Amino acid sequence: MKKKILVIHTGGTISMMEDPTGSVIPGSENPLIAQTSQLESMAELHVVEPFHLPSPHVTPKEMMELKLIIENEYSSNGVEGVVITHGTDTLEETAYFLDLTVKAPIPIVVTGAMRSSNEIGADGLYNLMSSIRVASCEEAIDKGVLVVLNDEIHTAKNVTKTHTSNVSTFQSPQYGPIGIVTKRGVVFHHSPTYKECYDINGISNKVSLIKAYAGLDSSLFHAIKELDYDGVVVEALGQGNLPPASVEGIKALIEKNIPVVLVSRCFNGIAQDIYGYEGGGKDLRDHGVIFSNGLNGQKARLKLLIALSHTKEIDEIRKIFAH
């Protein structure tokens, strides 16, 4: 019996076309809509297109809209799986947002393409087919939101875009994919060990993301404080260290009860409180900085946005980032 799969098209390269000048642009219609109808032998497909945006135009507002669509379709129409087509630039962020917030206990797969629909070697339709197969798979249940491209299955938490144009751009540094899609079937060889979900009704807070560099001072942190941001994520150096000139600004934010979350700008390893010198990880933790357990900067920012929608208590936010 075919599974009832909700397919949500949101735009991105997977739905665009290359014009005669070589520019990749959205057309008046999404060519993927017609292509999706070719796949109805795979599952009972219900297709919606709530918006048609390049992924740099996607914000937490659109992510929240997707969450509500999925939960409504699950409760009202009994969909058994979801596939979302999405531009690749912010795909990992939308996937992780949904991983942290969607309450429907069904497989949710996010996919995209690195080549537009009319380019030679276009990968969009193939990735969509693979994603429908994964979303229809019993083994995909309870594995959180998954990202499927190029025959690989990744978790939303670990996957990231690693190359500007290569079709194998999506990788999970340090962890690797948790499964593969073959001609014979869908094969999982790992499972996530922890699932978290937060009950939120909207996203209204402002969280900034700063990347540390040699000579970073406190001026940006003071500006963030004056602009009434609700939180800040810092991609720190190495294992979680910052230049000493930035510490004053960090302390000023914390004194104003603005949470400061630290991740590493390295794409392998996690930030830790190892070094005790001024600006070192231990010094920063002593000042009240929150350490994140292995997230990259863009995902830590989303998690802090969600955490702030869930609670304003710094100690509770610290517990949320311990996982």
Q: Which residues are catalytic?
A: 13
CA angle centred on 275, ends 223 and 249, rounded to 5°? 10
DSSP 241: B
Q: How many other β-carbons are positioned within 10 Å of the β-carbon of residue 25?
A: 11
Asked if 149 and 159 touch (Cβ cutoff 8 Å), the reply is no
Q: Residue 81 is encoded by which pair of tokens?
A: 């799986």
Determine the Cα–Cα distance for residues 90 and 88; give it in Å rounded to an integer.
Answer: 6
Determine the Cα–Cα distance for residues 83 and 3; give it in Å rounded to an integer.
Answer: 12
Q: How many other β-carbons are positioned within 10 Å of the β-carbon of residue 314?
A: 15
User: What is the torsion angle, in degrees rounded to the nearest 10, for the CA atoms of residue 245, residue 251, residue 252 and residue 256?
Assistant: 160
Determine the Cα–Cα distance for residues 112 and 323; give it in Å rounded to an integer.
Answer: 28
Give the closest residue to 306 by CA, choosing from 64, 107, 55, 84: 64
Q: How many other β-carbons are positioned within 10 Å of the β-carbon of residue 35?
A: 17
